[in-house]
């Protein structure tokens, strides 16, 4: 009895009929619904079993060691810093001058945080949120974050003096498990 071979769309290896994944590369041999996993016909837009939207792409193969992966808990440190009284300061300034001031502040914050090995997570209005301990952790991440916060406070004071404004920064640091 001759079994029909199914050609893998990823590596072109022949595989026995009825198999779902390639024995050579692990790629999916048939289109499957990303919602329910049922086999679907090529060219269809919706799954006949669950009605899920089909992308037309083979489902990604599951790595063989996926069941062995374990979530990792780690100690992370967050720095949150915001400008004191910025709304009041911005109300009396030209919009373009305010934008330029924020751009200088964000660039300076990015430089300071990077100097201490942190990563800017986001800028929120006149606030900066940075993180240490992910994706790479060091024993002194909390100290690095505190030093970055202190440098930011000093740098914002100098920036305020340069534009002849009372510009100050508040900073808080939190360390904990994530």
Q: By the 8 A CB rule, do 51 and 38 touch?
A: no
Q: Label residue 12 exposed, middle or buried (CB < 10 Å: 0-12, 13-18, 19+).
A: exposed
Q: What is the pLDDT of residue 176?
A: 92
pLDDT in tens, 158-168: 999 998 888 99
CA distance 78 to 177: 11
Helix axes of 141-162 and 95-115: crossing angle, nearest 10 degrees: 150
Q: What is the pLDDT of residue 26?
A: 75
Q: What is the pLDDT of residue 55?
A: 59
Is it the case that residue 10 has pLDDT exceeding 90? Answer: no
| 89 vs 8: which has the higher pLDDT | 89
**Angle at the Cα of 122 from the Cα atoms of 120 and 125, rounded to 5 degrees:** 130
pLDDT in tens, 24-79: 877 777 666 666 667 777 677 777 777 777 654 444 444 445 455 566 778 999 99
Q: What is the pLDDT of residue 95?
A: 92
Q: What is the pLDDT of residue 59?
A: 42
Q: What is the pLDDT of residue 77?
A: 97
């Amino acid at each position: 009895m001759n079994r029909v071979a199914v050609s893998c769309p990823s590596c072109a290896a022949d595989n026995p009929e009825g198999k779902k994944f390639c024995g050579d590369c692990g790629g999916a041999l048939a289109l499957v619904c990303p919602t329910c996993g049922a086999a679907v016909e090529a060219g269809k837009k919706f799954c006949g079993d669950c009605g899920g939207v089909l992308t037309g792409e083979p489902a990604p193969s599951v790595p063989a060691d996926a069941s062995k992966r374990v979530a990792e808990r780690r100690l992370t440190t967050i720095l949150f810093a915001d400008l004191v009284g910025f709304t009041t300061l911005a109300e009396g300034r030209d919009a373009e001058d305010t934008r330029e001031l924020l751009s200088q502040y964000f660039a300076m914050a990015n430089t300071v945080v990077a100097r201490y090995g942190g990563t800017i997570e986001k800028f929120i209005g006149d606030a900066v949120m940075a993180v240490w301990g992910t994706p790479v952790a060091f024993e002194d991440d909390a100290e690095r974050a505190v030093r970055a916060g202190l440098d930011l406070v000093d740098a914002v004071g100098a920036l305020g003096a340069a534009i002849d404004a009372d510009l100050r920064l508040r900073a808080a640091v939190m360390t904990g498990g994530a």
